[in-house]
Each structure stands twice: as structure tokens, then as C-alpha cells.
């Protein structure tokens, strides 16, 4: 399914837009907390170099700086962000691999390792009871932050049927090796009590401290690399949030500003800014409590993962004949459909963990329910305001327009003639604001052939200046800077065409009062101008704003006389 919406896209295909919104909104909570947790956890590792980072205020300050840095990187474009992530991830994986290998050589002691896995032990203070163990399972889900991000890249992959499943399988193998290897080394090197107290915020440092010469040799390097991989994880969260929100904005599940791209960078600048700010608010609100952040993450992640698994099962039932380039082995035949066993197990497991969060984690439960409720209110109001059904599916048709080029407007020419139509000025000002273009208003004083071109026509020039002053006032009222010019010429048409050619205007906005035809000046400019020409018909007398001003009426009367 070549779509970048993650669990929101899966649920949209299998259920409807409402269930899709709940899944996507929960996933966005997951990403927000991923950014917060990862960015906040950078400080404990860098405290090896900067001891003042052990204080909560300093940690929060650095967290906000990291989030701001990631926003700037992603604002500049995905290429810069991807290159940075690839380089940092490669260096970190090599370091983690070396730590696991060296740890197995010098630290691993299987009897010690298995003794530290005791549950319900009475002779140790660190052995958890079974209820506490299951609470810990919910906390452990935070280890999978960002693992769902790969599914969102299918929309950009050249061969998603092969490359995305291959990437998922490779990541599963790497994660399994790293998680099992790191946990085995850690529980052989130090006790669970020390890991959960002294090294709660930087567990890799606990492993390194037990290695030969670890604190002196590997300590600085691991502190730096651990901070780096956490920055990469926060970056993955920001990218994931912007992709999911952009997809939901496309389907009118979120306000359309989430679907807007920067004019030159082509990045979802509004979505990036929104989630960067929200992640900063969450981490400041938490005051650095990782338990609070983990509870909030687990609420959103388990709900989103449950929807994704359930959607996969229903999708197999509803569309059994759909071409699927990749299918995991181990399916159950149900009528004409093949139900993946792993999806069934995943749905049961994630729903169970989500229920445990509701029962055992009041912070995650309360804030999670508040997040979903606020989102649903926003979704229902937004859909109603656009006269769209809340339940159902909106189909987005991708229309290919041949030879399509985006309109680029840098300079707009507004000729003002023997009258002033306010509508034409307002349209020109709004276009200049929308495109960020330069707006130039010009009034041509036409000199008859019987008179020298240098003749001073005081009355017409005075009126021309009054017209231009009013044009400038209207434009500035709209928040647009405007340049005004007045020229004398034998022909209004030739003067305007000459300006267009010499100054490379991209657009000319002309006003007209006619319903059924264009004036000779307008027709000639439309035929001979080398740029776009838009014609704006002014409102007529009797319509709101259609009556001419007193000065305009007097001037037209003088012309008739």
C-alpha cells in the first residue's frame, strides 16, 4: 500500500475516515512523545562532558534547543535530514555492535544474567512482583519508538513491494540482536537495581562503566554516540509526525494548513512547526519525568498499533484477491482470505497492553483520553464546516495535468485608467500578497497628437496623482507595499506594453466595466502582452461598492464637456 499515512492509511482502507482519524491521531501522540523522550534523553549522556546538564532546568533547555535544531534541518528539506540520519545511525550501530561484542567477551556471565531475571523473588530487593512485571511490560513498549516509520516511506520507494519489506526484516534482525545483546550484557554487568536508579536515564553508560577501561576510553565516545542516536530518534519522530499529518490533511481529517508546503523548500513547514512546538510543551510540562512520557507514549502507540493490526486482518477479509507483493508466512485460511497469524497475535497483544495502560497508568490514561477527545471534537467540527460526512470514506482522485507548471509571479502591473475600480486594486493587492510579488501601479496621461509630448496637462496630472494616492492607500490597507508611477504618452496601450517588455512583469491586472465585451485597450494588451493578463470586471452601480466616487463622476463629466 504505497501511502505515507501509517496506521491512519491502513484504517482508512479497512474501516472508514473516523476510525482512521482515531488511529492517526493516536499515532501523532506517539510521535510527539517520541520527540520529547529522545530529545530529553540527550542531556544525561552529554553530562559526561558538561556536568551542569545533570540539572533539570539545563536538561529542559537543551531539549528545546535539540527540537529547534531538528525543525531547522527538516525545514531545509528531507535530503539534508536523511543524509544526517544515515550518517549518524551508521556510526551509532557500529559502536553498539562493538559494545555488545566486547561485553560478551569480558562481562557476560550466564548464571548472573539468569538470576537477574527472577520474578517474584523474596530474597532480592530488585526482583519485581508479577503485577509490577506486567506494569513494566507496558513501559517496555517505549523501546519500539519509531519502528513503524518505515511503512510511511512506501509512498516514496521506487519498488515498495520489495524494498520496504526488506528494510523491515533487516531492522527486525538488527533490533533483535541489539536488544538481546545489550540486555544480556547489561544484566551481567550491573544489577537491575543499579540500572533502574543510577543509570535510569543513560543505561548504556552503565554497561560501559563495567568494561575494562570503559569509563576512561569508551565513556566519552559512548556518551557522544548515544546522544547522537537519540537525536536521530527524535528526528524520526518529527519526520513521522509531519508525514502522517500531511496525509491526514490531504484527506480532510486535519485542517488544511497541515497539507501546505513551503513555496521553495517544498517541506510541510506548518506541520513541522506545530509538532516541534507541541513536543517542547509536552517535555516542559513533564518536567523531565520519563515515566510520565512513557505512559503517554504507550497510550498512543498501543492504540495506533492495535488499529493497524486490526485493519490488516479486515483488509485481508474484504480484499482477498488484491495483489500483495509480500506476505508474511503463517496464515490462517478464512473463507477466501488468508489471515496473518502475526497480525492476530499483534492485535491481541497491543490491545492487552493498552488496557493495562488504562488500568495501571493514570497519567497516560487521563491525558491520552483527553487527547483523543479533543481530537474528535476538532475532527467533527472541521468535517461539518466543510460539509463532509464524519463517517465514510473520502476518495482523493490524483489528476495528472499535462505540461503543468506552477504559476510563479514576481512582478504585477496594475494600470489605472480614466477611472478607479476598487475591486481591481483589491484583487491585485491580494495576488501580490499571495505570491509575495512586487506590485506596481501606473497611470498613463495620454497626450493628443496635436500637442507636444512635453505639454504640462496640469488637470489630468493632478487627477492622476490623486488616483495613484488612493490606489496606494488601498494596497497598504491590505498590508501590501506598492510602487506608483505616472507617465505621459501618446498611447496608453503602447506605454503599458513597453513597460511589460522592459521590466519583465509576470502579470498584468486590468479592470473593465463591460459585461459583454472588452474595450480596445484591454483587447490589444491581451493580444500583444508577453505575460499573463487577468481582467477584473468591476461591480456596477446598484451593487455594493459599485457607485463611483464624487471626484470620479466630476472628472468623467469634464471629459464629456
Q: 3-state DSSP call for residue 405? A: coil
How does pLDDT run across 272-289, given as a tens digit for each residue?
Answer: 999 999 999 999 998 888
Q: What pLDDT, on the 0 to 100 scale, is given for residue 407? A: 75
Residue 235 phi/psi, 5-degree rounding, is -65, -40
Percent over 90 (pLDDT), the chain: 15
488 beta partners: 445
Q: What is the pLDDT of residue 61?
A: 93
What pLDDT does residue 66 have?
94
Q: Are residues 455 and 497 in the same domain?
A: yes
**Max Cα distance, the chain (Å):** 115
Given a contact cutoff of 8 angstroms between Cβ atoms, the answer to whether 315 and 14 are in contact is: yes
Are 381 and 415 members of one domain? no
Q: What's the rounded Cα separation, in Å, for the pair 485 and 464?
A: 10
Q: Do 116 and 245 share a domain, yes or no? A: yes
Percent of the chain with pLDDT over 70: 84
Rounded CA gap, 68 and 64, in Å?
Answer: 6
* pLDDT of 80 above 70: no
What's the rounded Cα separation, in Å, for the pair 467 and 419? 8
* C-beta separation of 487 from 442 below 8 A: yes
Residues 154/160/161/167 CA torsion (nearest 10 deg) = -80
Residue 514 and residue 537 in contact, taking contact as beta carbons nearer than 8 Å? yes
Contact 250, 259 (CB under 8 A): yes
Is residue 44 scored above 90 in pLDDT?
A: no
Which range of residues forms the domain containing residue 527? 411-560
Give CA 123 to chain center in angstroms. 51
> What integer pLDDT is reported at residue 543 of this predicted model?
47
pLDDT at 403: 64
Residue 358 CA to residue 298 CA, distance in Å, equals: 10
- Quick check: 508 pLDDT over 70? yes
At residue 507, what are phi and psi to the nearest 5 degrees?
A: -150, 140
- Same domain for 521 and 434, yes or no, is yes
Cα gap 383→170, rounded to integer Å: 40
At 134-173, the pLDDT tens digits run: 767 766 665 665 556 666 666 666 777 777 778 878 888 8
Instruction: Kindly provide the residue ranges of all beta strands, DSSP E only, lying in 378-517, ordered along the sequence.
Output: 411-416, 438-446, 482-489, 507-512
- C-alpha angle 301/307/312, rounded to 5°? 125
- 476 and 379 share one domain: no
- Report the alpha-carbon distance of residue 399 to residue 408 in Å, rounded: 21
Q: Residue 17's pLDDT is what?
A: 92
Task: Decide if 121 is inside a domain.
Answer: yes
| The predicted structure's pLDDT at residue 115 | 84
83: left (phi over 0), alpha (psi -120 to 50) or beta: alpha
Residue 482 lies in a domain: yes
Residue 91 CA to residue 147 CA, distance in Å, equals: 19
325 belongs to a structural domain = no
| pLDDT tens track for 389-423 | 988 888 877 666 666 666 788 899 998 875 556 78
Question: Beta-carbon neighbour count of residue 401 at 10 Å?
Answer: 6
Q: Please report whether residue 456 resides in a domain.
A: yes
Of the three residues 385, 419, 452, the one that is the final residue of a domain is 385
| Mean pLDDT value of segment 230-235 | 85
Rounded mean pLDDT of 355-371? 89
* CA 135 – CA 365 distance, rounded (Å): 14
d(CA 496, CA 516): 24
In this structure, the answer to whether residues 443 and 371 fall within a common structural domain is no
Closest CA relative to residue 278, chosen from 551, 33, 6:
33
- pLDDT score recorded for residue 521: 83
Number of neighbouring beta carbons within 10 Å of residue 508: 24
Give how many domains the chain has, as a whole number: 2
- Give the three-state DSSP class for 479: coil
Query: 376 and 449: one domain?
Result: no
Question: Are 381 and 483 part of one and the same domain?
Answer: no
Q: Say which residues have a Cβ less than 8 Å from residue 66's Cβ, sequence separation at least 6.
A: 39, 42, 231, 234
Which whole number is the average pLDDT over 355-380?
A: 91
Nearest to 185 by CA among 205, 171, 170, 200: 205
181-229 pLDDT tens trace: 988 988 888 888 888 788 877 777 778 878 776 666 677 877 787 888 8
Instruction: Tell me the CATH number at 533.
Output: 3.40.50.620
**CATH code of the domain containing 80:** 1.20.1740.10
Question: What's the DSSP call for residue 398?
Answer: -
Least confident range of 317-331, 355-369, 451-465? 451-465
Q: Higher confidence at residue 4 or residue 45?
A: 45
Same domain for 376 and 469?
no
Average pLDDT value over all residues in the chain: 81
Note the pLDDT of residue 141.
62
Q: How large is the average pLDDT for residues 369-382?
A: 95
Q: What is the pLDDT of residue 401?
A: 62
- On the question of pLDDT at 371 being above 90, the answer is yes
Segment 529-556 mean pLDDT: 60
For residue 552, is pLDDT > 50? no
The Cα–Cα gap between 292 and 204 comes to: 21
In a domain, 518, yes or no: yes
The residue assigned the cell 548515544 is 226
Q: Do residue 368 and residue 440 come from a single domain? A: no
* C-beta separation of 153 from 6 below 8 A: no
Contact 290, 200 (CB under 8 A): yes
Same domain for 439 and 376: no
Tell me if 439 is assigned to some domain.
yes
Residues pairing with 509 in the sheet: 534
Does residue 489 carry a pLDDT above 80?
A: yes
Q: What pLDDT is recorded for position 69?
A: 92
| 507 belongs to a structural domain | yes
User: What is the structure's pLDDT at 3?
Assistant: 60
Q: Is 529's pLDDT higher than 60? A: yes
Amino acid at each position: 500500500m504505497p501511502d505515507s499515512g501509517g496506521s491512519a492509511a491502513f484504517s482508512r482502507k479497512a474501516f472508514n475516515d473516523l476510525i482512521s482519524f482515531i488511529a492517526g491521531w493516536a499515532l501523532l501522540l506517539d510521535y510527539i512523545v517520541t520527540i520529547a523522550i529522545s530529545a530529553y534523553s540527550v542531556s544525561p549522556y552529554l553530562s559526561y562532558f558538561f556536568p551542569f546538564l545533570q540539572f533539570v532546568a539545563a536538561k529542559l533547555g537543551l531539549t528545546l534547543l535539540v527540537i529547534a535544531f531538528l525543525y531547522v534541518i527538516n525545514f531545509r528539506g528531507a535530503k539534508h535530514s536523511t543524509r544526517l540520519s544515515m550518517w549518524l545511525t551508521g556510526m551509532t550501530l557500529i559502536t553498539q555492535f562493538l559494545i555488545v561484542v566486547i561485553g560478551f567477551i569480558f562481562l557476560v556471565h550466564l548464571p548472573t544474567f539468569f538470576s537477574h531475571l527472577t520474578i517474584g523473588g523474596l530474597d532480592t530487593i530488585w526482583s519485581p512482583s508479577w503485577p509490577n512485571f506486567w506494569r513494566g511490560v507496558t513501559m517496555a513498549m517505549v523501546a519500539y519508538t519509531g519502528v513503524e516509520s518505515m511503512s510511511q516511506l512506501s509512498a516514496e520507494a521506487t519498488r515498495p513491494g520489495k524494498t520496504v519489506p526488506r528494510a523491515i526484516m533487516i531492522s527486525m534482525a538488527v533490533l533483535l540482536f541489539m536488544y538481546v545483546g545489550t540486555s544480556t550484557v547489561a544484566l551481567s554487568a550491573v544489577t537491575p537495581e543499579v540500572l533502574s536508579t543510577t543509570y535510569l536515564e543513560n543505561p548504556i553508560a552503565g554497561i560501559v562503566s563495567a568494561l575494562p577501561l570503559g569509563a576512561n576510553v569508551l565513556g566519552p565516545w559512548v556518551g557522544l554516540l548515544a546522544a547522537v542516536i537519540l537525536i536521530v530518534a527524535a528526528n524520526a519522530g518529527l519526520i513521522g509526525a509531519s508525514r502522517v499529518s500531511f496525509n491526514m490533511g490531504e484527506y480532510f481529517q486535519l485542517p488544511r494548513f497541515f497539507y501546505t508546503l513551503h513555496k521553495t523548500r517544498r517541506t510541510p513547514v506548518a506541520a513541522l512547526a506545530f509538532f516541534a512546538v507541541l513536543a517542547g510543551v509536552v517535555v516542559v510540562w513533564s518536567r523531565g519525568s520519563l515515566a510520565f512520557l512513557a505512559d503517554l507514549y504507550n497510550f498512543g502507540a498501543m492504540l495506533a498499533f492495535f488499529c493497524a493490526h486490526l485493519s490488516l486482518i479486515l483488509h485481508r477479509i474484504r480484499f482477498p484477491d488484491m495483489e500483495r507483493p509480500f506476505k508474511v508466512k503463517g496464515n490462517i485460511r478464512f473463507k477466501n482470505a488468508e489471515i496473518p497469524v502475526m497480525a492476530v497475535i499483534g492485535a491481541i497483544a497491543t490491545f492487552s497492553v493498552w488496557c493495562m495502560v488504562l488500568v495501571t497508568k493514570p497519567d497516560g490514561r487521563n491525558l491520552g483520553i483527553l487527547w483523543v477527545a479533543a481530537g474528535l471534537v476538532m475532527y467533527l467540527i472541521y468535517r461539518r464546516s466543510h460539509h463532509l460526512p464524519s463517517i465514510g470514506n473520502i476518495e482523493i482522485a490524483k489528476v495528472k495535468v499535462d505540461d503543468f507548471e506552477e504559476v510563479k509571479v514576481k512582478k504585477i502591473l496594475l494600470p489605472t485608467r480614466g477611472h478607479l475600480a476598487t475591486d481591481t486594486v483589491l484583487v491585485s493587492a491580494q495576488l501580490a500578497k499571495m505570491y509575495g510579488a512586487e506590485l506596481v501601479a501606473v497611470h498613463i496621461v495620454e497626450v493628443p497628437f496635436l500637442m507636444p509630448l512635453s505639454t504640462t496637462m496640469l488637470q489630468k496630472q493632478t487627477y492622476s496623482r490623486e488616483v495613484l494616492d488612493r490606489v496606494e492607500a488601498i494596497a497598504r490597507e491590505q498590508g501590501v507595499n506598492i510602487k506608483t508611477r505616472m507617465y505621459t504618452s501618446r498611447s496608453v496601450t503602447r506605454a503599458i506594453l513597453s513597460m511589460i517588455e522592459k521590466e519583465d512583469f509576470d502579470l498584468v491586472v486590468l479592470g473593465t466595466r463591460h459585461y459583454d465585451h472588452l474595450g480596445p485597450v484591454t483587447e490589444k494588451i491581451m493580444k500583444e502582452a508577453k505575460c499573463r493578463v487577468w481582467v477584473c470586471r468591476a461591480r456596477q452601480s446598484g451593487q455594493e461598492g459599485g457607485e463611483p466616487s464624487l471626484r470620479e463622476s466630476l472628472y468623467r463629466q469634464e471629459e464629456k464637456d
